[in-house]
Amino acid sequence: MQTKNKSNGHGETLTAKDFATDQDVRWCPGCGDYSILKQIQTILPSIKVPRENIVFISGIGCSSRFPYYMNTYGMHSIHGRAGAIVSGLKAVNPELDIWMITGDGDSLSIGGNHLIHLLRRNFNLNIVLFNNQIYGLTKGQYSPTSPKGQISKSTPFGSVDRPFNPITLALGSEGTFVARAIDRNPVHMREILSAAHDHKGASFIEIYQNCNVFNDGAFEEFTDKSLKDQNTLYLENGKPLLFDNDSKGIILEGFKPVIVDMDSYSPDDCWIHDEEDKIKASILAEFFDYTEERGKLPRPFGVFYKNQRNTYEQVFQDQIDLYRSKREADLDSLLSGNNFWEVK
Amino acid sequence: MRLTYENNSKYKAMKEPVDESRDEVVIHFAGDSGDGIQLTGGQFTETVELFGNDISTFPNFPAEIRAPIGTLAGVSGFQLKFGSVEVFTPGDRFDVLVVMNAAALKINLKNLKPGGIIIANTAGFDNKNLKLAKYIDGANPLIDHSLDNYQLHAIDITKMTREALKEFGLSVKEVDRCKNMFVLGYVYWMFSQTPDNTIKFIRNKFKKNTEIAEANIKALKTGYNFGDTNETFKTRFRIKAASLPKGKYRNINGNSALALALVAASHKNDLDLFYASYPITPASDILHELSRHKNFGVKTYQAEDEIAAACAAIGASFGGSLAVTGSSGPGIALKGEAIGLAVMLETPMVIINVQRGGPSTGLPTKTEQADLLQAVYGRNGEAPMPVLAASSPKDCFDVAYEACRIAVEHMTPVLVLSDGYVANGSEPWQFPESKDLKEFNIHRPKGDEFVDEQYLPYYRDENHVRPWVVPGMKGYTHRVGGLEKEEKTGNVSYDGNNHELMVKIRAEKIEKIADFIPQQEINRGETGADILILGWGSTFGAIETATKELIEEGLSVAHIHLKYLFPFPSNLGELLKSFDKVVVPEMNRGQLTKLIRDKFLIDAQSISKVKGLPFTVDEIKEQVLKFREYANQK
């Protein structure tokens, strides 16, 4: 199960098509999930891992149908539990390249506990969270990421819940790679997916995904041609925070982000993005709520935070290797224990 | 011959007391949960085992770690029966009751045999303790003649221990912690046992603190000498060694036996062991035991919750490991959906339920058998899976090993039922040699599972078993899931006819396991006896003893004890029908009774006890005798 082959798999060169299965894709026409499926199938040939070492594991929800459409190993499991299943799989088989596919209901509601512990433990795998701010498969209830006031089947007068900010949650759960992408920007999504795969540790990617049936236009301000420039901020490591075709920038006044006009500022004055700075990542993550005080901030996309930390499976295995080298595994002496006696 | 310790001739010269020979004796040690009662009982157990007695033990402790000192709720107990004859249970009523305080006496006196011996620490009977034990107006039973029907040994153990250890320079607290050793020494003397093994144990346990070690040894010897020199006690008991089958033995409790079986099954079959669990009483000791065996490559995973533990095990099973999750009733309830997934995936996995009193949080430290129906039926949809139950501490090894075999050979989750009684109880175990352990027949693809070069993950053999393919195997990529799947291909299918077929296939796969397990045997008595006592799980010892005694008393009874609860052994129906009456003692409200009536249309009658405590032999005999009318009425 080596993953060092130069070409993908065992000397064969694969293409995106090789990762498609013979199963009909059953998402609604126009669903943002198609874009995510396409981008993942597109990047897989370039990650140089034999197909049989790749595993897609999902929970329940529209997004979680994903493994059926990937010609790799896969499991479509139960609601919210993909995080626990990938943990067990990675713990016993560290060489596998594991992708967990999940959604806002799956991982932020019913499976919230598993997500935070998965990030804390930092298994080396990829978590792709499709966020459409709605329960689509059950036909339109508000989700833990729906904005307050969302009208849905279960909230005809508007939801009264405050939504989760998945990026803050991931940072607070000690995630070592935290990023956001959006279905309508495939080039950027592929970059983020590849970066997530390259990161050694639990990589968390929130992907804004439009549910055109039950929550159409939820992310319109980030995708509509006339709106997206002023509302989106693409993060690049080591580069200043500029947006709206570089006409605006963000400076930090203490811990307070302020939007400035680039006519009167130079890029050097701006906040320079540092992926390894967790405090700044936390401030960036808060570009989420509108507040009167600081006005409307653009929504960041890209890698908020990235850092190296030991992976769970490595430390887990090292401990076993250490004790294996110290003490022989003699089953008979284990069975007899130290205090046995003989009846003659 | 007098017993000596450390070959110290000083102890050899003492006068001989009157010896009384007994076949078996029941001792119950009781005191505060901080009194070291469990350790005292454990040491006595080890010593008599080394001497060659058969023994059965039952620790019984409160749910609170340190319940308020001196209260009735805080009493911890350790009961054991040892003998020169085969011992199946820790005994109904005690011959000897050792109490460290008034509360311990109050709770346990009712189970002391008339004329039995009470060894009481008088320091635990001061006004405060009497009040805490709710003795009316502080009446002291040690002096008010209410114990005149017993042999009372009232000793100020606290004072004598303090006196003996005064030159050690230890704190009062440290000195008082040694008083259990005084008691143990005294009981050793009473039962003609040498304290040598315990001295060895103390030296090893406190090897970093020799002063504490020597203080404990001194207390132990002081207690022993007190028995020897005190003029008032003239009787010593002598219990001959039992004639156990030849071989090597060790003491084992149920949870340890279970853990060892998992290591053995994985090691013998070159499978990695993955054990995922969330802390819960009384199953946590399995996690503790397994986490020590990293040199066997054992991977223990303390998950974030019960569901995660079950799901991590599913992930590990998908990854090719021998995957196990363990818990108790409440945790098993949480795992239910995941177990259903394992049924649907048809992936090998072992789920252990060390049962406790329920429902809900129930009685965490007390025993019960009320999760049988949960084990057999507790999942949504038609989700059959094998269920096995352990009947004694040592049987936990055989049952867990067998559960691993069935899981792997039949590609199914398997549920193992233990309970608090067998989990914490212990007995001598004639342990197996690794070469005698069964090897599993692991199903890997044979190459005929393809159509148009496409691998069919649900292509089955004649027993409906699919191969165990794990990620990393080239040419076998496939997807599995919880949705209903098309026969053979495993693709998602909502077709009604296919669903019915798949439900039947999964059911038949489990039913066919009956062809691969032993035929049911009669544990005691003859086919066609008037009354059959049918049991499962930890009631084994009490039923076996009751049956033996009833037969000796001339009744036509037999005992059958089930290890395989789902599916039943294929000859069980026929066997059951040979008896005039089937009665089923269970620590629940008749759950096996329901299964038996349902499966075999037999008018089985339940004998129920749900008090958080095991059946006593007398309780079973008394209940069985109510069915005496069925005797000799063929």
Instruction: Output the 3-class SS for B153-198.
Output: EEECHHHHHHHHCHHHCCCHHHHHCCHHHHHHHHHHHHCCCCCHHH
Contacts of residue B105, Cβ cutoff 8 Å, sequence gap at least 6? B30, B97, B99, B118, B120, B133, B141
B270 with B388, same domain: the answer is yes
CB contacts of B276 in chain A (<8 Å) are 88
User: CB contact, 8 Å: B86 with chain A?
Assistant: no
B555 with B613, same domain: the answer is yes
Closest residue to A343, CB basis, from B247, B315, B480: B247
Closest residue to B250, CB basis, from A51, A53, A340: A340
User: What CATH number was assigned to the domain covering residues A16-228+303-313?
Assistant: 3.40.50.970
User: CB contact, 8 Å: B334 with chain A?
Assistant: no
B275 → chain A, closest CA residue: A88
User: CB contact, 8 Å: B383 with chain A?
Assistant: no
Size of interface A-B (CB pairs under 8 A): 205
Note the pLDDT of residue B62: 74
Contacts of residue B414, Cβ cutoff 8 Å, sequence gap at least 6? B348, B349, B350, B351, B385, B386, B387, B388, B403, B404, B406, B407
Closest residue to A334, CB basis, from B260, B317, B338: B260
Note the pLDDT of residue A333: 97
- Return the amino acid letter for A15: T
Note the pLDDT of residue B6: 39
- Helix, strand, coil share (%) of chain B residues, nearest 5: 40, 20, 40
What is the rounded CA–CA span in Å between residue B562 and residue B568? Answer: 8
How many other C-beta atoms can be found within 10 angstroms of the C-beta atom of residue B85? 13
Cross-chain residue pair A67–B481, CB shorter than 8 Å: yes
Residue B20's φ and ψ, nearest 5 degrees, are: -125, 125
* CB proximity under 8 Å: B 354-373 to A: none
A339 → chain B, closest CA residue: B250
Last residue of a domain, one of B211, B237, B263: B237
- B244 assigned to some structural domain: no
| pLDDT higher than threshold 90 for residue A299 | yes
* Chain B closest-CA separation from residue A126 CA (Å): 16
- B477 assigned to some structural domain: yes
Q: Average pLDDT in the A234-246 region?
A: 98
What are B602's two structure tokens? Answer: 């037999």
Note the pLDDT of residue B7: 39
**Cβ–Cβ under 8 Å, residues A163 and A169:** no
Q: Average pLDDT in the A53-79 region?
A: 97
Helix (H) or strand (E) holding B103: helix B102-108
B137 with B213, same domain: the answer is yes
What are B215's two structure tokens? Answer: 């203080």
Cross-chain residue pair A85–B297, CB shorter than 8 Å: no
* pLDDT < 50 stretches in chain B: 1-15, 634
B562 with B494, same domain: the answer is no
| pLDDT higher than threshold 80 for residue A344 | yes
Q: Average pLDDT in the A28-36 region?
A: 97
What are A161's two structure tokens? Answer: 């819940």
Whether the predicted interface score ipTM is above 0.90: yes
Note the pLDDT of residue B234: 63
Q: What CATH number is associated with residue B587?
A: 3.40.50.920
Cross-chain residue pair A341–B345, CB shorter than 8 Å: no
User: CB contact, 8 Å: B348 with chain A?
Assistant: no
How many folded domains does chain B comprise? 4
- B525 assigned to some structural domain: no
* Chain B closest-CA separation from residue A230 CA (Å): 42
CB contacts of A341 in chain B (<8 Å) are 49-50, 52, 248-250
B584 with B555, same domain: the answer is yes
What is the DSSP code string of B550-588?
A: HHHTT--EEEEEESEEESPPTTHHHHHHTSSEEEEEESS
Cross-chain residue pair A52–B473, CB shorter than 8 Å: yes
Cross-chain residue pair A73–B479, CB shorter than 8 Å: yes
**Cβ–Cβ under 8 Å, residues B93 and B112:** yes
Note the pLDDT of residue B231: 62
- B421 assigned to some structural domain: yes
Q: Tell which residue, B322, B505, B328, B480, has the closest CA to residue B407.
A: B322
Note the pLDDT of residue B625: 95
3-state secondary structure of A200: coil
Q: How far is CA A338 from CA A19, A194, A332, B295, in A?
A: 55, 53, 11, 17
User: CB contact, 8 Å: B50 with chain A?
Assistant: yes
Note the pLDDT of residue B175: 95
What is the rounded CA–CA span in Å between residue B579 and residue B526? Answer: 9
B138 with B280, same domain: the answer is no
B302 with B403, same domain: the answer is yes
Closest residue to A343, CB basis, from B249, B272, B294: B249
What are B164's two structure tokens? Answer: 């003996």
| pLDDT higher than threshold 70 for residue A268 | yes
CB contacts of A342 in chain B (<8 Å) are 247-249
B400 with B469, same domain: the answer is no
Contacts of residue B63, Cβ cutoff 8 Å, sequence gap at least 6? B281, B363, B364, B365
B17 with B147, same domain: the answer is yes
Q: What CATH number is associated with residue B414?
A: 3.40.50.970
**Cβ–Cβ under 8 Å, residues B563 and B399:** yes
Residue range(s) defining the domain that contains residue B486: 450-505
- B403 assigned to some structural domain: yes
**Cβ–Cβ under 8 Å, residues B110 and B60:** no
What are A22's two structure tokens? Answer: 């013979």
Note the pLDDT of residue B223: 95
CB contacts of B475 in chain A (<8 Å) are 52
Note the pLDDT of residue B608: 98
- B526 assigned to some structural domain: no
Contacts of residue A4, Cβ cutoff 8 Å, sequence gap at least 6? none
Cross-chain residue pair B249–A341, CB shorter than 8 Å: yes
- B242 assigned to some structural domain: no
B362 with B281, same domain: the answer is yes
User: CB contact, 8 Å: B261 with chain A?
Assistant: no
Note the pLDDT of residue B632: 64
Note the pLDDT of residue B593: 98
User: CB contact, 8 Å: B110 with chain A?
Assistant: no
Cross-chain residue pair A85–B263, CB shorter than 8 Å: no
B332 with B414, same domain: the answer is yes
| pLDDT higher than threshold 70 for residue A6 | no
B491 with B535, same domain: the answer is no
